Structure 1
Amino acid sequence: MSIQGFNATGVQEITAAAGVPKGSFYNYFDSKEAFAVAVLTEYWAAVVAEYGAILDQDRKPPLSRIARYFAGLAEFHERRRYAVGCLIGNMALEVTPKSEDVRIKLAAIYREWSTALASCLREAQKKGELSAGKNPEQLAVALIDTFEGAVMRAKVERSRAPFDSFERFVLPSLLT
């Protein structure tokens, strides 16, 4: 699904990749959309496990942690040669018009993501790194939205340039 997309990946391909009979798919999932929700759950858990702790490293300044967090996510896409994109963004574009369950799962992921960033941004405000006039919740959403746009463009261009732009221009302008 990461490579071909949700619609282009059939249940037969999924079960073949898992090495199980096609009929057993429906023993575990009510539908392909239910499978997509499970995949998103696992994907997000892996992202949090790999990068979430960066935001919680108390010994480093909060804004440095946020920059490192997004740099780590950019490196993840670089290792995949920018060809795959973000499963969250891909599913948001491809599946949400047709599946309310997937849309609800994605909305929950975005809320969790923005909550983690907003917490770090509030800490930055308390330490005087971030202007008290900035709204951490709105800023967190803006960071995610612009980063996801960079992911999409990097996928199209197969280039790190959108991440460099995000790191050089977007982060400094939003976080000062």
Structure 2
Amino acid sequence: MTGYLFVPRRNGFPMSRPPNPEVRFRLLSAGYDVVLDQGFHGCGVQNITAAASVPKGSFYNYFESKEAFATEILDAYWQNIEDRYTPFLRDAETAPLERIAYFFRAISDDHAVTDFRHGCLIGNLALELSSASEKTRVRLKSILGRWEEYLATCLREAQKRGDLAKKRDVKQLASIIIEAYEGAVMRCKVERTRRACDQFEKVALPLLLA
């Protein structure tokens, strides 16, 4: 079953359209599950192609390398987060600080579907590949920057409403919120409960936004 937080797109990936886009779609979808289950370094191309029911040699018809594959599943993973969860941050009917709480709660609810067994792909690959792959590190940095900007936009709105002190550095605050949440997800992955994410929502986030 494809990871709950991952909905690969059949079109729109950075590489040119391959001879059989359905095969590429299967490699991304099945390979995503393999990377979450086994870790990037814990699985090989053989594991990915076997899960997708594709000959091993076909992998390199669609991806230049396993590293290139990692950046593509990262892009699809983040795009899915933007599509599904950033509407919470743009909901003009809800106070900005409440939107941020709803955003993180929704993501935590999806992690809970698998009892937090998989964690966050962004955090997972940051731990595994930031030192080993410059290409992946740069892609992760870009994704984190986009995430920060979504939160910072909400925080600026909160400042305009008087819900957040104008002296607060919203870019810095957004960064700290993400770091705190990623740490909570990692702890949930270890404990296989949502205790740390609940603690983030009920204790850490209110303190950061006070």
TM-score of Structure 1 vs Structure 2, range by shorter chain: over 0.9
Structure 2 residue 187 is the aligned partner of structure 1 residue 159: no
Determine whether 1:80 maps to 2:114: yes
**Residue 102 of structure 2: which of 68, 79, 82 is its match?**
68
Distance 1:159 1:131 in 2: 34
Distance between the aligned counterparts of 2:202 and 2:73, measured in 1?
32
| C-alpha separation in 2, matches of 1:16 and 1:96 | 27
* Greater mean deviation of Cα atoms: 45-54 or 103-112: 45-54
Report what 1:38 is aligned to. 72
**Runs of 4+ off more than 3 Å:** none
Equivalent residue pairs, number: 176
TM superposition shift of 1:109: 0.5
Cα distance in 2, alignment partners of residues 25 and 71 from structure 1: 36
Query: What are the ranges of 5 or more consecutive residues in structure 2 without an aligned counterpart?
Result: 1-34
Higher relative contact order (CA 8 A, sep 6+): 1
Residue number in structure 1 paired with 2:54? 20
Counterpart position of 1:89: 123
**Equivalents in 2 of 1:44, 1:76: separation in Å?**
14
Aligned to 2:137: 103
- The equivalent of 2:40 in structure 1 is 6
Are 2:164 and 1:130 equivalent residues in the alignment? yes
Q: How high is the sequence identity, in percent, across the aligned residues?
A: 49
Separation in 2 of the partners of 1:162 and 1:62?
Answer: 23
- Measured after TM superposition, the shift of residue 48 of structure 1 is 1.1
When normalised by structure 1's length, the TM-score is 0.97
Tell me how far 1:36 sits from its aligned partner. 0.2
Q: CA deviation at 1:95?
A: 1.4
Superposition CA RMSD, Å:
0.8
- For residues 205 and 132 of structure 2, what CA distance do their matches in structure 1 show? 33
Unaligned runs of at least 5 residues, structure 1? none
In the TM superposition, what is the alpha-carbon distance from 1:19 to its structure 2 partner?
A: 2.3
One-letter code of the match for 2:62?
Answer: Y
- Give the partner amino acid of 2:79: A
Say which SS state the counterpart of residue 64 (structure 2) adopts: coil
